[in-house]
Amino acid sequence: MSLSIKDIQAPISSEMDAFERKFRQFMKSEVMLLDQIMNYIVRRKGKQLRPMFVFLTAGISGSITEATYRGAALIELLHTATLVHDDVVDDSNYRRGFFSVNALWKNKIAVLVGDYLLSRGLLLSVDNQDFSLLQIVSNAVREMSEGELLQLSKARRLDITEDVYFEIIRQKTASLISSCCGVGARSAGASEELVDKMRQFGEKVGLAFQIKDDLFDFGDAEVGKPLGIDIKEKKMTLPLIYALRQTTWTKKRQIINIIKNHSDKPQKVAEVIQFVRDSGGIQYATQAMQKLVEEAKTILHSFPESNYRNSLEGLVQYTIERSK
């Protein structure tokens, strides 16, 4: 039976409580408007999966230190900055069911808020000489930007192969979870070899996480993400890539034409979804996701059994069993 978020958090519950207090402090500003926006961002935080990866990975790699708290805060600050900027780029009015910063305070303020969050993260690391943590997270932010641009460049031609797809999601999604695990291990004083092992673990979890996200596009559950949104945005995901590879040239051309020219029509999007389901795309992507999860668990099982290891395994399972 899979663990709940509360069960997963059990070995680090006191650390997570302390982190929340410290993180609020890191976000504070003497500018009233900025402080108001920071409070709004903190109040609408999600499940905090990223800090959980940092703390659990630190626990399994050695011990949780003050650097672990700073590393988790650095990741949250830089990641939140990218989300605020993403909402401006996408002209999105909602984030996790709440109004986005740009919807409430307009684009100009949202961009400046994103810049402020980036600078707070950088200063937090520089002031405490956490240069090795900053290097790990900065690389992840660079990769996330490159992955987004690679996807945008490919979306114009809809010519993404499976290899390119995996490179995009490795950069866009897996690099961040990989950095969480790398930061956790590094903050615990682990060896370079162990840090690299935990980064590999995080990358596999991140890839599986994104495939799960892509599968929501073709499912029946209410997940907070509209069905077929990836198709409407002309994103080539693994279920679709596989389905197109299995079909005839004529059918492939027909489906590509729908995505390129008719993705604004619900009945046409439904046609693509049914095509992917009928072609075995769901099963293929699910198997790929499960393989990555097993590889991640193999890395975990090279560590002695502990509450940290059990919770990390539960967190891995949660990422692929979640309903949204």
* Residues 218 and 230: beta-carbon distance below 8 Å: no
- pLDDT, tens digit, 9 for 90 and up, residues 17-52: 999 888 888 878 888 888 888 888 877 777 788 999
* Residue 243 identity: A
Please state the three-class secondary structure of 145-196 as a single string. Answer: HHHHHHHHHHHCCCCCCHHHHHHHHHHHHHHHHHHHHHHHHHHCCCCHHHHH
Choose the weakest-confidence range: 18-32, 195-209, 293-307: 18-32
- pLDDT, tens digit, 9 for 90 and up, residues 221-262: 433 345 667 888 788 899 999 999 999 999 999 998 888 888
Distance CA 298, CA 9 (A): 21
Q: What's the CA angle centered on 217, arms 241 and 152, to 5 degrees?
A: 60
Mean pLDDT, all residues of the chain: 88
Of the segments 39-43, 115-119, 150-154, 180-184, which one has the largest average pLDDT value?
Answer: 180-184
3-state secondary structure of 92: coil
DSSP conformation letters of 57-70: HHHHHS---HHHHH
Residues linked to residue 95 through DSSP beta bridges, in sequence order? 98
Instruction: Give the H or E element holding residue 142.
Output: helix 131-155
3-state secondary structure of 90: helix
Residues in the chain: 324
Domain coordinates of the chain in residue numbers? Answer: 15-302
- Whether residue 96 is predicted with pLDDT greater than 70 in this model: the reply is no
DSSP 33: H
Superfamily of structural domain 15-302:
Farnesyl Diphosphate Synthase (1.10.600.10)
Q: How sure is the predictor about 7, in pLDDT bands with cuts at 50, 70 and 90?
A: confident
Q: Is the dihedral of CA 41, 311, 7, 69 positive or negative?
A: negative
pLDDT value of residue 157: 73
